Structure 1
Amino acid sequence: MNLAVGDTGLQRLLRLHPANAGPAAANPARVLEIDADFARDGTWAGARELAERAYLELLEHGREDLIDAHNAELHMALPLHRERIPLKYACLTDTARDAERTRNFPLDRAYRLVHGLVGLVLDWKQAVAPGESWLVLVRQYDHAQHLATRLFAELARRAARRGEIAVIIDSALDHAELGRRAPGLQTSLASDELRARPAPSRAGAPGEAEGAALEAELARGGALDWEINAPRLLAHHLSRGESLAAAQVALRALCLCNHYGYYHESASFADTVLPHFDEMVGDDEDARWNYLGNIFQGMVTTDAEVRALRLILDLAEPRLTRRELRAKMHYLLSMIYLRYSKKPDLALAEHYILLAAADIDAARGEIPDADQTFLKVFIDNGLAFLRVRQGRPQDALALCQEGYALLTRELGEDRHTLHRSVLQYNTAQVYVMLDRTEDALVHYRKSIEMDPYYSEYYNESANILQREERFEEALELYESAARYSAPYPEVHFNRGVCHSRLSEWEQALAFFELSLELNPAQPEIHVLRAEIHEELDDAERALADYDAAIALAADSVPARVNRAVMHFGRGRYDLALSDMDHVIAIDGGQAGHYENRAEIHKAMRQDELYRLDLDRAEACRETA
């Protein structure tokens, strides 16, 4: 990392152009200049430099507490230090391997890591240099990938709230393109003078001797070595025009990114891989299916489901002959139409899932019995999902329960623990649909027993308890959900709701603030906060939150009705009327809305309109 402290040329430039960076960058005490080129350092390029600097300085300052608080994101972003930062709460999706790993991470998990890394930088700054102004200068921003650009935008937004860290990017992108890639960074666009400033020297692609040595090292190494060095080896082959060798490296990098849930990054390698795909896999059907599954996952998770479908139809369907592989292929085709298509097609989804079931039944005797049993249960689980979408929850329930019993009977309780936990989870979800709350909670608990660090199980089962008004029990589970994951806004929102229902206003406001810091686009939080402020007789803050909710969601009926009531109580009849006119325009079938507006007309001495709205309210009741 290039760390500049003191009166550098960059600082003199910023003093001449303070509008480009905001007050925190006008005279920074520390300038952190980082290189975000994905081709140089992979998924966390640039962010890794910040995280490593934070980690090492926090160690120097004896702040193991903060290192522990950011364990998950440090473990993932710093592979060079991973042995010293073991994952504290590893769920089965982290630890399961090969056939045992039957669940991919949701894309949201990577976004939680982004939140955690931003929090790490903010905590580091506060721990080692409170009150100082820092500047983060992001070089090669235009060559950063999805998660890194998201991280820089989030750092700029959240740091701006504290006013002590500015983020400037070195970019040739115009404001429109920058806004599309990373909303929030538009105002951080670097000046022409800054972009013209020579970048610090940086290593190019490895030379011939270094590239050969690196290739030999990776041939002997494992996944961690590939994670650290694949970008450099890929750059080496690309710089020499060695497209086949580049495709081979890109395929390994693609699979690693997919394994970690970095799907945009995984998908970015597809165009390097696919021209040589047939050449690389040849007639090896296992390799063909394994690699296509990885390429497929990156595509469908990043809204390229049409291309993903074409991939399977062109490169898998004509070339797979073995029945168990065709079963997996038909299962995936079913999921395209059931889960990933923007317009689901349940008929096609059923067609393909039934083909998958027939394929795996026909594979009995061709593959080990244990594999046949597992694949049958796995495919039936997909069929259960389809039955739920078809409005047949009892059929779905039977498939989940019969599959679990078959796995246990045939394979025992030690194999496929991850998938067994998923079956219990799916059973719980069906019980929720059937309004059998206690049965749902029983199966959530069974899922948790098998996979005790999977945060979503705690959050979702706590949601059931919250709906049942068992708030204290829900809060205990939400606390576990927060502990076992990098930060995500939903769990803090849910904690805030519980505290508000318990009239614990200070705690509710604190958790709502945490949730908004992670995701400010939550109008419902502003409505809930406004209601709390009303309870606390703080009309100004209540109105400010209603204003914020409506700025985010102009058609928010609760926000507009409540704001109208507040305006009415303060004699601002014209503002109250404007809100109720808007409410009735979008939700005109509610008698209460007309009655509210009638009262406003009455206060404004508009007797005819007052009586007309009362008549409309009565008509609504008769219709209902």
Structure 2
Amino acid sequence: MVSLLFATAPNTGETASAHLNQKFLAQKISLQLPAEPEVVISQEKMSQLAQNLEEQIARDAIELEIHGPRLVSYWLKSDQPEKALIWQARLLGIYNHQGFYEDALVYCESVATQLDHLCGTDNNMRWNMVGNLFNCYATTKNIAKAYQIVQEEALLKLDAPAQLVRAYYIMAMFHTRFLPEHDHALAEDYLNRSLSILADPTSDIPADDRHFMAAFDMNGLALVKHRQGVPQEAIALCKSAIEEFKNNLSEGKHRLHRSVLDYNIAQVYAAMGELEEAVIYFTAAIAADPNYSEYYNDRGNAYQRMGHLENALDDYHQAIELSPPYYEVWMNMGHCYYLKGLIEEAIKAYSVALDLQPTQTPVLIARAQVFEACGHLEEALLDYNAALDLNSQQPFLLANWATLHYELGQLSEALSDLSAAIALSPDNPDLYQNRAIVLISLGQSDAASADLQTYLRLNPNATDRAEVEESLSSLSKG
């Protein structure tokens, strides 16, 4: 038996208790505690508390992280609430830097509406604030707000070349990656504007920064070209960016970004099916940054497609060693084990992937197919059922489900599955042939004949035409 302690707000205990009684069968003990009287502190006292806490925090980032929210609260309740703003901005930066975007979101609105007051004409500070707001909004899925902040508070107000270059790059990424409707041509235009600034010899951007930003823009332009369907141009741009690094920046600088360029080239080659080239560039990326999990995962995928299954497994295991768990690498490992004929290992890998991300339809389908292949039909049916609960509009999945129902002797269920699949994909000839088999087993000859005729009409060059025509002849005689 588990004991649970619930605390409720004043005068809400009975409502909460009634709700719990609907969900739990348990003995209940209620304790009514008197509400603590509200302590009212004057605004002047709050100001004094805030000043004392500021002195304690000083410039210590850890102290700010611990006591910052309380300091903001003090200033907001004081007779000088405007003094909270600078601390809200600092906390926004700290939480954003640490990846605590939901926590940072608490301060976004206050900072976003007071950027002019905070930054004045300081371009560097404005860009830092906008960058923090962009990261926070974008990573919490508020793309429209992120776009508005960059456009209105950076693009339209910055006038320093270095910050404009960064703003143009972000706007390009909005139009090629983040916004629901992509505009790759506009993204390309923003990147070309950025490159034009960087190519201007009169710019006050330091040389090292200029070369780095140019390489970064070329990398962004490579992504645009890849998405426009011109992979060779994408590869050429990445290689040009690598040359920009090699020719103008010392070897020890920007190792992460150098590895990303090799990684991007590898991804394009992998998408083109040129797997040996992809492996070469994945390996170069790993050499530059050997501690990044996704490089190993993606090289493992390339090895798997080449049939080098042991190499693939080695990479997947290394990816797992280097990172907190994520379902993709376990799913890929499951595929690899299955190709090697290691059924139990494949099921275990898929199960870990589903523990990490239970709503991944591809993993459910993959594990169902492994269960089906080794004769565990009931387990396979459960996984197919779970996948269909997540998305019922999958004709291929419905067809697989129908096969299992047929093998289990559940003919009516198989017929229903195939009819639903045909409704979703009426031009797929195989679905009609499969339904004809079920209809024959149910003794519905006329309906089976109609489905076989549809199969031949949709697939006039069927290799089994003679066999199907013989079945039609037998059905007509029956």
Tell me the amino acid that sits aligned with residue 424 of structure 1.
Answer: D
Question: 1:622: how far off?
Answer: 2.6
- 2:100 matched to 1:262? yes
Question: 1:208: how far off?
Answer: 5.0
- 2:366 matched to 1:528? yes
Q: Note if contact 1:323-1:363 (Cα within 8 Å) is conserved in structure 2.
A: no
TM-score, normalization: structure 2? 0.85
CA separation of 1:137 and 1:478: change in aligned 2, threshold 3 A: farther
2:151 corresponding residue in structure 1? 313
Structure 2 CA distance for aligned equivalents of residues 425 and 241 of structure 1: 54
Question: 1:546: how far off?
Answer: 2.4
Question: 1:414: how far off?
Answer: 0.4
1:415 corresponding residue in structure 2? 253
Pick the aligned partner of 2:339 from 501, 505, 525.
Answer: 501
Secondary structure of residue in 2 paired with 1:611: helix
Pick the aligned partner of 1:569 from 404, 407, 419.
Answer: 407
- Give the number of aligned pairs: 449
Pick the aligned partner of 2:52 from 213, 219, 225.
Answer: 213
- 2:181 matched to 1:343? yes
Q: Note if contact 2:293-2:319 (Cα within 8 Å) is conserved in structure 1.
A: yes
Q: Which moved more, 1:414-423 or 1:207-216?
A: 207-216
Q: Note if contact 1:496-1:511 (Cα within 8 Å) is conserved in structure 2.
A: yes
Paired residues for 1:96-245 under 5 Å: 135=4, 208-222=47-61, 224-240=62-78, 242-245=80-83
- 2:441 matched to 1:598? no
- 2:170 matched to 1:332? yes
Structure 2 CA distance for aligned equivalents of residues 558 and 200 of structure 1: 62
Q: Note if contact 2:47-2:79 (Cα within 8 Å) is conserved in structure 1.
A: no
Pick the aligned partner of 1:580 from 418, 421, 444.
Answer: 418
TM-score, normalization: structure 1? 0.66
Structure 2 CA distance for aligned equivalents of residues 197 and 491 of structure 1: 51
CA separation of 1:547 and 1:303: change in aligned 2, threshold 3 A: closer
Paired residues for 1:292-441 under 5 Å: 292-362=130-200, 364-441=202-279
Question: 1:198: how far off?
Answer: 7.1
CA separation of 1:524 and 1:335: change in aligned 2, threshold 3 A: closer
Secondary structure of residue in 2 paired with 1:415: coil
Secondary structure of residue in 1 paired with 2:162: helix
CA separation of 1:320 and 1:371: change in aligned 2, threshold 3 A: same
Tell me the amino acid that sits aligned with residue 495 of structure 1.
Answer: M
Tell me the amino acid that sits aligned with residue 60 of structure 2.
Answer: G
CA separation of 1:195 and 1:492: change in aligned 2, threshold 3 A: farther
1:125 corresponding residue in structure 2? none
CA separation of 1:530 and 1:196: change in aligned 2, threshold 3 A: farther
Structure 1 CA distance for aligned equivalents of residues 323 and 5 of structure 2: 27
Structure 1 CA distance for aligned equivalents of residues 37 and 243 of structure 2: 62
| Structure 2: stretches of 5+ with no match in the other structure | 463-478
CA separation of 1:371 and 1:570: change in aligned 2, threshold 3 A: closer
Question: 1:433: how far off?
Answer: 2.6
1:290-349 CA-partner distances (Å, limit 9, x unpaired): 211111121223332322232233322343222222121112222121111111112221
| Structure 1: stretches of 5+ with no match in the other structure | 1-25, 29-134, 141-168, 176-185
Structure 1 CA distance for aligned equivalents of residues 110 and 202 of structure 2: 38
1:520-555 CA-partner distances (Å, limit 9, x unpaired): 112333333233333333332222222222222223
Q: Note if contact 2:161-2:205 (Cα within 8 Å) is conserved in structure 1.
A: no
Tell me the amino acid that sits aligned with residue 130 of structure 2.
Answer: L
CA separation of 1:577 and 1:467: change in aligned 2, threshold 3 A: same
Question: 1:412: how far off?
Answer: 2.0
Structure 1 CA distance for aligned equivalents of residues 303 and 71 of structure 2: 51
- 2:320 matched to 1:476? no
Question: 1:193: how far off?
Answer: 9.7
2:465 corresponding residue in structure 1? none
Q: Note if contact 1:324-1:363 (Cα within 8 Å) is conserved in structure 2.
A: no
Q: Note if contact 2:293-2:318 (Cα within 8 Å) is conserved in structure 1.
A: yes
1:550-594 CA-partner distances (Å, limit 9, x unpaired): 222223334322222222233321111001101111122222211
Secondary structure of residue in 1 paired with 2:58: helix
1:49-85 CA-partner distances (Å, limit 9, x unpaired): xxxxxxxxxxxxxxxxxxxxxxxxxxxxxxxxxxxxx
2:301 corresponding residue in structure 1? 463
Structure 2 CA distance for aligned equivalents of residues 570 and 308 of structure 1: 53
Structure 2 CA distance for aligned equivalents of residues 438 and 202 of structure 1: 70
Pick the aligned partner of 1:543 from 381, 385, 393.
Answer: 381
CA separation of 1:384 and 1:204: change in aligned 2, threshold 3 A: farther
Tell me the amino acid that sits aligned with residue 212 of structure 1.
Answer: Q
Question: 1:137: how far off?
Answer: 6.0
Tell me the amino acid that sits aligned with residue 463 of structure 1.
Answer: N
CA separation of 1:380 and 1:530: change in aligned 2, threshold 3 A: closer
1:282 corresponding residue in structure 2? 120
Structure 1 CA distance for aligned equivalents of residues 38 and 2 of structure 2: 26
Question: 1:615: how far off?
Answer: 0.9
Structure 2 CA distance for aligned equivalents of residues 481 and 383 of structure 1: 28
CA separation of 1:408 and 1:595: change in aligned 2, threshold 3 A: same
Question: 1:602: how far off?
Answer: 0.9
Tell me the amino acid that sits aligned with residue 600 of structure 1.
Answer: V
1:163 corresponding residue in structure 2? none
1:141-170 CA-partner distances (Å, limit 9, x unpaired): xxxxxxxxxxxxxxxxxxxxxxxxxxxx9x
Tell me the amino acid that sits aligned with residue 461 of structure 1.
Answer: R
Q: Note if contact 1:244-1:276 (Cα within 8 Å) is conserved in structure 2.
A: no
Question: 1:401: how far off?
Answer: 0.6
Question: 1:623: how far off?
Answer: 8.2
Q: Which moved more, 1:483-492 or 1:396-405?
A: 483-492
Secondary structure of residue in 2 paired with 1:269: helix
Q: Note if contact 1:364-1:372 (Cα within 8 Å) is conserved in structure 2.
A: no
Structure 1 vs Structure 2 CA RMSD: 3.2
2:289 corresponding residue in structure 1? 451
Structure 2 CA distance for aligned equivalents of residues 530 and 364 of structure 1: 63
Q: Note if contact 2:354-2:364 (Cα within 8 Å) is conserved in structure 1.
A: no
CA separation of 1:402 and 1:193: change in aligned 2, threshold 3 A: farther
Tell me the amino acid that sits aligned with residue 356 of structure 1.
Answer: S
Structure 2 CA distance for aligned equivalents of residues 586 and 313 of structure 1: 42
Q: Note if contact 1:499-1:505 (Cα within 8 Å) is conserved in structure 2.
A: yes
Secondary structure of residue in 2 paired with 1:491: helix
CA separation of 1:138 and 1:364: change in aligned 2, threshold 3 A: farther
1:31-51 CA-partner distances (Å, limit 9, x unpaired): xxxxxxxxxxxxxxxxxxxxx
CA separation of 1:478 and 1:273: change in aligned 2, threshold 3 A: same
Secondary structure of residue in 1 paired with 2:459: helix
Structure 1 CA distance for aligned equivalents of residues 257 and 90 of structure 2: 25
Q: Note if contact 2:89-2:107 (Cα within 8 Å) is conserved in structure 1.
A: yes
Structure 2 CA distance for aligned equivalents of residues 556 and 200 of structure 1: 57
CA separation of 1:138 and 1:503: change in aligned 2, threshold 3 A: farther
Q: Note if contact 1:139-1:199 (Cα within 8 Å) is conserved in structure 2.
A: no
2:474 corresponding residue in structure 1? none
2:467 corresponding residue in structure 1? none
